């Protein structure tokens, strides 16, 4: 304190400043002590200049972990994070802070998006160090899904709703294409677009993610002559399910085994809309692929025939049975999307502008990758298969143990709690339900409210309920 004014208040102001700085150095949400080993050092520090250079209560690090806490706790409002800060200030000093959420929301808006990109990539790279190879190759899974956004004008312009819905009655839809590691379940990268763009256009921007020694695994929607050639150009193999528009006559071609043939495909007559014309001129007229057909048998169900297309042409090194078993593991990506969307609550996002929606997406994927890193660490230390570790159980264990780790008084006690956390995660195994089928059905009936078939500001609910209303409870009038 070098100000010449109010000399009698200098000691008090200096003490208050030191207490405030100590509060800024504490973890708001108790997650930093557990997640710090997986995060790159210095990436969440204050900037030298610019929007995040000032020393604030909601610094970049505190805002990041506050946002992470909201992601790991579905339906956690911004007010709860502000109350955590108020509790820390009440514990250490008598200073008062604003009870509103405006400061925290502005801090979330100031979070640099490129920093979140780097954090997600660094966590994925750290988790991939424990990945296991398949015949010396790195399997990567592809699939797409959709998310629902709040119905705001900005979100509707960026991600318009389905054309079959009336204006003001639907919700913006975001199409998401994810690339996952088969061994660890980590999200390596993703592409986003609106519902009206094709998945292949998103994948065009993610092709640089595939390196030499990778093998791409996807369903029949990605079985394309052009995509197979683009992957081969990068020395990347693929295993796709055969598209219905590309017939495969296994009576032709070179025989490698039963229901195993080498076929020569010809170039399609028309250029895909997502491919630049300069690349279309480079595509060869013919391509040699391997077609495998196997029977999918499940007790109590009709036998299903599955046809695969792959560029793993060596039948001696890659047998048809091993390739079929590799493709059968593709279903895991559906479970991983369920972990993110259902268990973590990402199916319906909450931010009201595309700028914040992108940051919310990054935070969800950072949290997901951090949980996957914890699962991998617990599985390796306790010798447990990663597929059997419960994702939801890991999230619940992290929430509770992080509070105890933050309250531990010594570094030794913290390390002991972390070891116990990993043991609890490893013991929480899901049962092996081979061939389990659970139909999507809801037993609990919804309440008989009227359907909102108009925008909210135009909708008027009937003020009385007569016999006609009881017979037709879902019909609305304006």
What are the extents of the domains in the chain?
Answer: 19-111, 129-343, 356-427, 444-478
pLDDT score of 22: 47
- 152: number of Cβ within 10 Å: 16
pLDDT at 9 over 70: no
Phi/psi at 106 (5° precision): -65, -35
Give the integer Cα–Cα distance in Å for 307 and 324: 9
Q: What is the DSSP letter of 64?
A: H
What mean pLDDT do residues 354-379 have?
94
Residue for token digits 């998945």? 199
Q: Which has more confidence, 143 or 415?
A: 143
CB neighbours (10 Å) of residue 25?
10
- For residue range 74-87, list pLDDT tens digits in order: 888 999 888 888 88
Q: What is the mean pLDDT of residues 436-457?
A: 77
pLDDT band at 420 (very low <50, low <70, confident <90, very high): very high
CB of 414 closer than 8 Å to CB of 405: yes
Q: Which residues contact 200 (CB under 8 A, 6 or more apart)?
A: 222, 224, 227, 272, 274
CATH tag for 129-343 (out of 3.40.1190.20, 3.10.20.70, 3.90.350.10, 3.30.565.10): 3.90.350.10
Using DSSP's 3-state secondary structure scheme, residue 156 falls into helix
Q: What is the 3-state secondary structure (H, E, C) of 248-286?
A: CCCCCCEEEECCEEEEEEECCCCCCCCCCHHHHCCCCCE
Residue 161, CA distances (Å) to 170, 348, 379 in order: 6, 14, 42
Which residues, in sequence order, are CB contacts of 309 under 8 Å at separation 6+?
223, 228, 238, 239, 240, 241, 242, 246, 248, 289, 290, 291
Check whether 306 has a pLDDT greater than 90: no
Interatomic CA distance for residues 339 and 43, integer angstroms: 27
Q: Alpha-carbon torsion 411, 416, 417, 419, what sign?
A: positive
Q: Which helix (H) or strand (E) holds 304?
A: strand 304-310
Closest CA to 108 of 72, 152, 78: 78
Structure tokens at 359: 């940051």
Cα-atom radius of gyration of the chain, to the nearest Å?
27
Residue 463 has pLDDT above 60, yes or no: no
Q: What is the mean pLDDT of residues 315-323?
A: 93
User: In the structure encoding, which two tokens stand for residue 193, read together?
Assistant: 């677009």
Who has greater pLDDT, 17 or 395?
Answer: 395
Residues 248 and 242 sit within 8 Å (Cβ to Cβ) = yes
On average, the pLDDT of the chain sits at: 84
- 234-268 residue pLDDT tens: 999 999 999 888 878 888 888 998 889 999 999 99
Q: Is 141 exposed, middle or buried (0-12, 13-18, 19+ CB in 10 A)?
A: buried
Which residues of 120-236 form beta strands (DSSP E)? 138-148, 173-181, 187-194, 214-218
pLDDT at 461 over 90: no
pLDDT at 361: 95
Quote the percentage of the chain above a pLDDT of 90.
46
- Comparing C-alpha atoms, which of 173, 174, 206, 181 is closest to residue 191? 206
pLDDT tens-place string over residues 181-198: 999 999 999 999 998 888
Query: Between vectors from CA 39 to CA 34 and to CA 41, what angle results, nearest 5°?
Result: 115
Cα angle, residue 150 at apex, residues 161 and 440 outer, rounded to 5°: 75
- Global confidence as pTM: 0.86
Indicate the pairing of strand 260-266 with strand 286-296. antiparallel
Task: Give the pLDDT mean for 347-366.
Answer: 94
153-157 mean pLDDT: 92
477: tokens are 């009038």
């Amino acid at each position: 304190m070098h100000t010449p004014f109010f000399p009698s208040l200098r000691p008090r102001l200096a003490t208050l400043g030191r207490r405030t700085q100590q509060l800024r150095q504490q973890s708001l949400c108790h997650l930093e002590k557990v997640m710090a080993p997986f995060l790159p050092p210095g990436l969440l520090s204050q900037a030298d200049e610019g929007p995040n250079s000032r020393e604030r209560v909601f610094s970049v690090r505190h805002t990041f972990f506050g946002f992470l806490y909201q992601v790991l706790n579905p339906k956690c409002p911004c007010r709860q994070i502000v109350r955590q800060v108020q509790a820390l200030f009440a514990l250490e000093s008598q200073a008062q802070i604003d009870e509103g959420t405006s400061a925290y929301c502005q801090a979330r808006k100031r979070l640099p998006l490129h920093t979140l990109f780097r954090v997600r990539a660094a966590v994925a790279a750290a988790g991939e160090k424990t990945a296991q190879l398949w015949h010396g190759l790195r399997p990567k899974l592809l699939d797409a899904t959709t998310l629902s956004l709040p119905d705001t004008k900005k979100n509707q312009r960026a991600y318009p709703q389905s054309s079959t819905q009336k204006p003001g009655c639907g919700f913006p839809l975001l199409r998401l294409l994810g690339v996952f590691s088969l061994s660890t379940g980590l999200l390596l990268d993703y592409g986003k677009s609106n519902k009206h763009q094709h998945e292949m256009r998103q994948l065009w921007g993610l092709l640089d993610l595939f390196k030499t020694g990778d093998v791409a695994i996807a369903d029949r929607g990605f079985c394309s002559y052009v995509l197979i050639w683009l992957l081969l150009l990068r020395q990347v193999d693929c295993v796709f399910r055969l598209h219905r528009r590309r017939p495969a006559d296994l009576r032709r071609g070179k025989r490698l085994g039963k229901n195993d043939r080498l076929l020569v495909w010809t170039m399609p007559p028309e250029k895909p809309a997502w491919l630049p014309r300069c690349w279309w001129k480079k595509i060869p007229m013919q391509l040699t692929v391997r077609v495998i057909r196997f029977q999918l048998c499940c007790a109590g169900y009709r036998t299903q025939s599955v046809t695969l297309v792959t560029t793993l042409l060596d039948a001696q090194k890659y047998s048809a049975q091993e390739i079929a078993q590799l493709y059968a593991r593709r279903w895991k990506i559906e479970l991983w999307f369920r972990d993110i969307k259902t268990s973590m609550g990402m199916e319906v996002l909450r931010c009201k502008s595309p700028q914040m929606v992108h940051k919310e997406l990054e935070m969800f994927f950072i949290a997901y990758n951090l949980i996957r890193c914890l699962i991998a660490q617990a599985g390796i230390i306790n010798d447990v298969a990663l597929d059997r570790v419960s994702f939801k159980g890991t999230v619940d264990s992290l929430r509770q143990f992080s509070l105890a780790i933050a309250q531990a008084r010594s570094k030794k006690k913290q390390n002991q709690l972390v070891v116990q956390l990993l043991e609890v995660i490893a013991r929480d195994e899901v049962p092996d339900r081979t061939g389990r089928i659970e139909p999507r059905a809801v037993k609990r009936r919804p309440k008989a409210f009227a359907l909102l078939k108009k925008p909210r500001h135009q909708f008027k609910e009937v003020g009385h309920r007569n016999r006609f209303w009881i017979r037709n409870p879902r019909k609305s009038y304006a």
